[in-house]
Amino acid sequence: MRASTPRHWQDFWDEAARHGLDDVYDNDGRLVREIAALGDPRGWRILEVGAGTGRDAVALARAGAEVVTVDYVAGSLRLTARAAAERAARVSPVCGDGLALPFADGTFDVVFHQGLLEHFRDPLPLLRENVRVLRPGGRLVVDVPQTWHYYTLGKQILIRLGRWFAGWETQFTIARLERCLRTAGTEVERSYGDWMVPGLWYRALRKVVLRRTGRRLPKYPEPPWPLGPCGRAWRRRFGATRLALYTTPTIGAVGRKPGGPA
């Protein structure tokens, strides 16, 4: 099972840049919504660890936050800078190591990441470093793949075949994620989950078709994925339960660093 390396991720983001960011699925604003639920972000200092495309950082900057992104791959930082320039947002991309962040203790009001923690065989050093740079009372928002989902089964098969795009990665139950956040030094305030629309298998198929044929399948197929009023109401009610966190492909948790104002 190959590990993810800077070269691997540089190639990944270079490919994303060639095909255009519109071909890269985002997280549908999930992280931005979770951070906005903490309060008005204007004036907050926010750090994204693992910059990705920078879309979340740009959205938060446009909402009035002072946003820094850190990544150890130049390709990701270039995409972030480009996204910020296109949206006239002020985001500060920094090249650095998530395990040794180049910031003083207590620098940020919020630290967040998604698509990152699952690439660490031991998640605690990364989480403890996240907590270190949070001010007392600051929040850590962590988003990861969920264990009990067909996505995980397919992913683990591809990892063992050496065909998974991200090399090696793991996954979390909501109980394990919450336990990690507590061990790292935060108090868990809430947890959340998200169903992806369109689903993961369609997203994977779309990527394969693009790579092999250059053809772009619709990003969001028509007609839209209808649920109807009753289905949407049931989905909202079920989505608010603890059980739902064992059915979504992605889960997350919000931890608060003790001390300071809430």
CATH number of the domain where residue 166 is located: 3.40.50.150
In a domain, 157, yes or no: yes
Tens digits of per-residue pLDDT, 234-260? Answer: 777 877 888 889 988 889 999 999 997
In a domain, 219, yes or no: yes
Domain residue limits at 55: 6-256
- Has residue 201 got a pLDDT over 70? no
> Number of structural domains, the chain?
1
Look up residue 138 and give its amino acid: G
- Has residue 107 got a pLDDT over 70? yes
Instruction: Provide the H-helix boundaries in 162-251.
Output: 174-183, 200-213, 228-239
In a domain, 262, yes or no: no
In a domain, 261, yes or no: no
In a domain, 242, yes or no: yes
pLDDT of residue 1: 40
pTM: 0.81
In a domain, 246, yes or no: yes
Residue indicated by tokens 């660890």: 49
In a domain, 69, yes or no: yes
Residue indicated by tokens 């997203």: 203
In a domain, 198, yes or no: yes
**132, 144, 48, 50: which is closest to 97 by C-alpha?**
50
Residue 121 vs residue 236, higher pLDDT: 121
pLDDT, average across residues 212-238 = 68
145: β partners: 250
